Amino acid sequence: MQRLAFILFAALWTSLFAGWAQAQSWGDLSATFVYDGEIPKETPLKITTDVEFCSKFHVIDEALVVNAENRGIPNVFAYLYLARTDEAPKPHPAYSQTASAKVMLDNNCCRFDPHALVLRTSQTLLMANSDDIGHNCKIDTLVNPPINYTLPAKGKLEHRFLLAERLPVRVSCSIHPWMSAWLLIRDNPYMAVSDDNGKLVIRNLPVGTWSIQFWHEKAGYVSEVAQDGKKTEWKRGRLEIEIKPGANDLGSVTLAQTVFAE
């Protein structure tokens, strides 16, 4: 009798779970950012401290980098935009695997690596120093208390940010003023940064209509864009889009040279 009851319970649970899984649909949002204009030349940064050590490396201005092979624009942030009173959607179960992960920001070859990164409030920022000289990691948060930690050569330090930030925040090194990076801190996993080819993917968004915020350190809000050759405006860098099950590709999103003008 107990065995029969267990079998019936297992069957009922399986049916309920299957129904829930079918009702919960997810989609990936992707885009490839492309530069339209004369590709900017690399600008070496002036090494003013620890010259003997830092001058050994190829340290350039990374505020605007363009891939010469395909005109891709790295370091474009995209993330789920929520009004202050909105609650973030329940994440896809796959995100639980990295919910408490450590995310590394390294001081390496007298630059921050990576130049742009994302972090959840449930995760820990691991600040590392791979160099043979000391650095410091100054993060000018607006909602969280700002930090300014000294990192000795080969040192490491961990920090948790408990609150989401509305925009990416600047990371700098007071010892080496040319060093900079950008950190986006959110309380949900729906965010991404474009890679060296200009491509980004936000995975497993719940099906439905969502607003996505786009931001780049040189352009600010990514507002003036062209999709499929047609100019359009994403007001304040936000795009409202209906996420459907499976792939949702915005294709090539072209940004003109004037978008990045001083």
Q: What is the pLDDT of residue 11?
A: 46
Residue 7 inside a domain? The answer is: no
110-156 residue pLDDT tens: 999 999 999 999 999 999 999 999 999 999 999 999 999 999 999 99
Residue 11 inside a domain? The answer is: no
pTM to 2 decimals? 0.90
Q: What is the pLDDT of residue 249?
A: 97
Residue 154 inside a domain? The answer is: yes
- Return the half-sphere exposure (C-beta side, CA atoms, 13 A cut-off) of residue 131: 24
Residue 18 inside a domain? The answer is: no
Residues in the chain: 262
Residue with the bigger pLDDT between 29 and 12: it is 29
* DSSP notation for 103-123: EEEEEETTEEESSEEEEETTS
Total number of domains constituting the chain: 1
Residue 178 inside a domain? The answer is: yes
Neighbours of 217 (CB within 10 A): 19
What is the domain-level CATH number for residue 105? 2.60.40.420
Instruction: Tell me the residue range of the domain where 156 lies.
Output: 26-260
